Each structure stands twice: as structure tokens, then as C-alpha cells.
């Protein structure tokens, strides 16, 4: 490196050859000593000879064969990688299936998503199919109830008039429940589809009471407006649970592609049903409930397949219960089929029967507030260990880690209470010491399993600040 730097300094001309530059350098009066060591010159000439004899570097290329497809990969001189199809002996059906997967599934599927995404997608497609078919039947019934012929233009006009009215009211009311939807996205997603089917059912039955057309149609669209907000608000947490490589946008786009495709198929099926089986009111009363049952069942299976990895009261209680009972940490995929989607607020005995979200004044009497503060002065939670359950109240800036610490204390205290009978204060202190000794490895393994511990989503739970 030193010799080459000297060469560039004393022989800057491009046209000077390397040996001539060495000779000029050795005779240069500007070079210290006037001459170069013969040993260094010999070494440079030897390296030059080896470089002349070395064959020129060729572009690096290779061929990969996978699933009957041969692809040639080659690094270009500029460092870019080019891919060229050499041979594709796959059947046409297989090529069509791969094209479908590339269009409707995230890049890198199935390795770029978490477990359960295929089952979630299957039932999501069925859900949108039945929902679209139901919408056609309800629109046709609305037109009959209004005394109009079911032409496409009139159906669009009626739909927009009702949507701009009562549906917006439903959206405004439901938008205030965003915090609860963050905490229990699965439950609210199911509730959204139940509300949607309720509104659709009212529209289907509107011909039975044409004199109440505006009331029935308005109430139906009010319920559907709430359903739209709840469904859209819970969509992001559900998609986030499947994002494995930061590919949330790709997941969202491909999910919407599947929804659009099956909505179109459902609309076609609904039009066919409306002109055949469901051309009469009796047919609608048979087909519409059947489609509604399939619709709700599909969304329930969707939600059960989603491995949501945020901490809420139910999931935290299940994690703590498994850890206290078996010493193991459950992953989001382990808990997804054990979650109670309809009644998530149930108390789990192995997790200390912890209840979160009650007001501070309901849990602690003013005369004992100082005592509760001094029990765990460095923590961001208060625990009131009662006979029926344990109340936990969090500070306004408490994280998921703080909630886990408090929950572990309550679980350990409940476990100790079943073995020995001591004053509650002593049990809580012993449980707190045990929690401190086990929390670090517990938290590390929890995060390694994919749980997000930076936030605790307790819905509309009350928090305190001194």
C-alpha cells in the first residue's frame, strides 16, 4: 500500500506503465534516498507478474432449480443481480396457481407470515362472499318495500340516501369505542359482523311492514354503520398479528385483494339467488338466515386463527397462569384458540383472579391509600388483594411490563394463600420478592415469543396519577 501510494504521488501520469514508473521512482531526486531497495523492487515486479498471469475475473453466475423451474442468477459488473428464466416445465395449472398466490398473498408466503394466516384467509373469503350475497337480497327487499322496481340505478340511489343518513349516525357513535376495540379486536370484529347481519336482516324483512319502511331501513343502516366502523378499526390489529417481516402494507393490500375478489363473486351469486330461489319473500326468509349463519361462523373462525400479540387483560392473565402453573411461556399462536371471544372479562384463578380497570376510589379507601402507596413504592401499580379477587390499578404511564409485574405478584400471592394462611400484607411482600427474582427471564422469554410488552391495552380501564 505504501509503494502504490508513492507511485501515485511521483508518477501521476496515466500513460506511464508500471515498470517504467518503478524505474522513474527509483531514480527520482524527490524520493528520499534517491533509490529504492532492490528487495522491494523485486517484490513489486513479482506481484506484477502474478497479476499478469491471473485470468480475468468472470461474472459470477449460477443456476437454481426449484419446483421444475430453472433460473439463472448472475452478478453484473455493477454489483446488481439479474435473474433469467432458463426452463419452466410446470403444468399450466401450477403456473396459474403461482400467479394467484403472487397476486393475493404476501410476498414470501408462507414464510413471511405467522401461523394461522391461511385459515384466516379462507374464512375471510367465505365471510365476504356471504356478506355480498346478503347485501343484494337486502337491497332488493328494500326496493320492493318502497314500491320500486329493483333496477341498478334505483338500488344505488336508495343505498346512498340511507347511508348518508342513519349510517353516519351509527359510525359517529361507534367511533367513541376505539380504546375498547384496541383491547379486544377479535370480540369487536365479531360484534361488527353480528351488527351488520342484524341490519341486513331488518332490510330483508322490510317488505313485511312497508308502512314502516323508513324506520326499518334507517335502523338497519344505523346498525350497519356501527358495523363498518368496528370492522375497519379492528382490521389493523388483526393484520399486525400476522406481519412477520415488517410487511404490514403487503398483508393489507393482499387481504383487500381477496376481499374484493370474493365480494364480486358474492354479488354475482346474490343476483342469481335474487332472480331464482329468493324471488319470493319465502325464499329470502330461508336463504338469508343460512347465509347469515355462515357469515358469522366464518368471522369467528377468522378471529380464532389470528395470533394477536398485544397484551390485554385476558391474554395477560392466560400468560401469567401458564407461567405460574407450568413455568412455560405461551406464544400468541398457543393462546389464540383458548381466548374467550364473547366474554373476555372472566377471572382466571391460576392468574390470581385479577380485575383491571376499576376506579381508585372504588378499590381503596382514603384512609388506606398511603398504606397501598408504601407497599410497592417503586412500582406503577396498586394491588388490593381481596377474598374474591385482586384489584389492580395502573398509573397513567404504566406499560405492559408494569402490568405483568403486578399480575405476577397477584398470582404468586394467590398461590401462596392456598398453601399457608398468613396476613395479606406478608403474602403480598413475599410474592413481590418472588416476582423480582423471576421477572427478568420471564420478560426475556416473553419478548422472544413475539409478545409486545411496550403497552398494556386495558380498554376503558381507569388509571391514576398522584
Helix axes 400-419, 424-448, angle to 10 degrees: 130
The reported pLDDT for the residue numbered 25 is: 47
Flag residues of the chain having pLDDT under 70: 1-71, 73-82, 85-91, 107, 148-165, 421-425, 466
Burial class (CB within 10 angstroms; exposed 0-12, middle 13-18, buried 19+) of 434? middle
The reported pLDDT for the residue numbered 80 is: 60
> Are the beta carbons of 146 and 158 closer than 8 angstroms?
yes
The reported pLDDT for the residue numbered 188 is: 93
| 405-455 confidence digits (pLDDT tens) | 999 999 998 888 877 765 555 788 889 999 999 999 999 999 999 999 998
The reported pLDDT for the residue numbered 22 is: 46
Q: If we measure between CA atoms, which residue out of 309, 404, 284, 304 comes closest to residue 354?
A: 404
CB contact set of 292 (below 8 Å; sequence gap of 6+): 130, 134, 197, 200, 201
Q: Could you give the C-alpha distances from 184 to 42, 233, 317, in angstroms and in order? A: 78, 11, 14
Rounded CA gap, 44 and 69, in Å?
A: 49
CB contact set of 133 (below 8 Å; sequence gap of 6+): 266, 267, 269, 270, 273, 291
> Are the beta carbons of 303 and 123 closer than 8 angstroms?
no
Whole-prediction pTM value?
A: 0.69
| 352-392 confidence digits (pLDDT tens) | 899 998 888 788 877 777 888 888 888 999 888 887 889 99
> Are the beta carbons of 313 and 345 closer than 8 angstroms?
yes
As beta bridge partners, residue 392 has 356, 383
Average model confidence (pLDDT) across the chain: 79
The reported pLDDT for the residue numbered 342 is: 84
Set of cell numbers at residue 267: 354479488
Q: If we measure between CA atoms, which residue out of 293, 305, 336, 264 comes closest to residue 194?
A: 293
CA 244 to chain centre: 8
Amino acid at each position: 500500500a505504501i509503494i502504490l501510494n508513492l507511485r501515485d504521488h511521483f508518477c501521476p501520469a496515466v500513460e506511464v506503465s508500471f515498470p517504467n514508473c518503478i524505474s522513474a521512482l527509483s531514480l527520482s531526486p524527490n524520493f528520499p534516498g534517491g533509490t529504492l531497495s532492490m528487495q522491494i523492487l523485486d517484490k513489486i515486479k513479482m506481484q506484477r507478474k502474478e497479476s499478469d498471469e491471473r485470468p480475468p475475473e468472470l461474472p459470477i453466475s449460477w443456476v437454481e432449480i426449484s419446483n421444475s423451474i430453472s433460473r439463472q442468477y448472475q452478478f453484473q459488473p455493477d454489483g446488481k443481480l439479474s435473474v433469467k428464466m432458463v426452463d419452466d416445465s410446470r403444468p399450466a395449472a401450477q403456473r396459474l396457481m403461482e400467479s394467484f398466490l403472487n397476486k393475493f398473498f404476501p410476498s414470501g408466503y408462507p414464510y413471511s407470515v405467522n401461523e394461522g394466516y391461511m385459515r384466516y384467509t379462507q374464512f375471510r373469503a367465505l365471510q365476504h362472499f356471504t356478506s355480498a350475497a346478503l347485501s343484494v337480497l337486502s337491497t332488493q327487499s328494500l326496493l320492493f318495500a318502497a314500491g320500486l322496481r329493483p333496477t341498478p340505478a334505483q338500488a344505488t340511489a336508495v343505498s346512498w340516501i340511507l347511508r348518508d343518513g342513519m349510517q353516519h349516525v351509527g359510525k359517529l357513535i361507534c367511533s367513541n369505542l376505539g380504546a375498547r376495540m384496541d383491547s379486544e379486536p377479535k370480540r369487536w370484529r365479531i360484534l361488527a359482523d353480528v351488527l351488520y347481519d342484524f341490519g341486513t336482516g331488518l332490510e330483508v324483512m322490510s317488505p313485511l311492514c312497508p308502512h314502516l319502511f323508513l324506520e326499518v331501513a334507517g335502523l338497519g343502516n344505523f346498525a350497519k354503520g356501527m358495523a363498518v366502523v368496528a370492522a375497519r378499526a379492528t382490521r389493523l390489529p388483526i393484520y399486525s398479528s400476522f406481519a412477520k417481516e415488517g410487511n404490514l402494507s403487503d398483508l393489507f393490500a393482499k387481504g383487500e385483494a381477496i376481499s374484493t375478489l370474493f365480494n364480486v363473486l358474492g354479488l354475482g351469486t346474490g343476483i342469481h339467488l335474487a332472480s331464482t330461489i329468493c324471488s319470493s319473500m319465502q325464499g329470502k326468509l330461508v336463504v338469508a338466515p343460512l347465509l347469515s349463519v355462515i357469515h358469522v361462523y366464518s368471522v369467528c373462525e377468522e378471529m380464532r386463527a389470528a395470533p394477536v400479540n398485544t397484551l390485554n387483560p385476558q391474554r395477560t392473565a392466560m400468560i401469567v397462569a401458564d407461567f405460574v402453573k407450568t413455568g412455560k411461556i405461551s406464544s400468541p399462536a398457543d393462546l389464540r384458540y383458548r381466548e374467550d371471544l364473547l366474554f373476555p372479562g372472566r377471572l382466571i384463578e391460576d392468574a390470581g383472579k385479577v380485575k383491571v380497570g376499576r376506579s381508585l376510589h372504588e378499590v381503596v379507601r382514603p384512609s388506606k391509600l398511603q398504606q397501598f402507596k408504601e407497599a410497592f413504592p417503586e412500582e406503577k401499580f396498586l394491588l388490593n388483594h381481596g377474598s374474591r379477587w385482586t384489584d389492580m390499578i395502573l398509573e397513567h404511564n404504566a406499560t405492559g411490563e408494569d402490568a405483568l409485574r403486578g399480575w405476577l405478584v397477584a398470582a404468586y400471592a394467590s398461590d401462596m394463600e392456598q398453601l399457608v394462611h398468613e396476613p395479606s400484607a406478608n403474602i403480598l411482600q413475599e410474592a413481590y420478592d418472588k416476582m423480582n427474582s423471576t421477572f427478568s427471564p420471564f420478560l426475556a422469554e416473553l419478548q422472544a415469543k413475539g409478545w409486545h410488552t411496550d403497552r398494556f391495552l386495558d380498554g376503558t380501564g381507569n388509571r391514576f396519577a398522584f
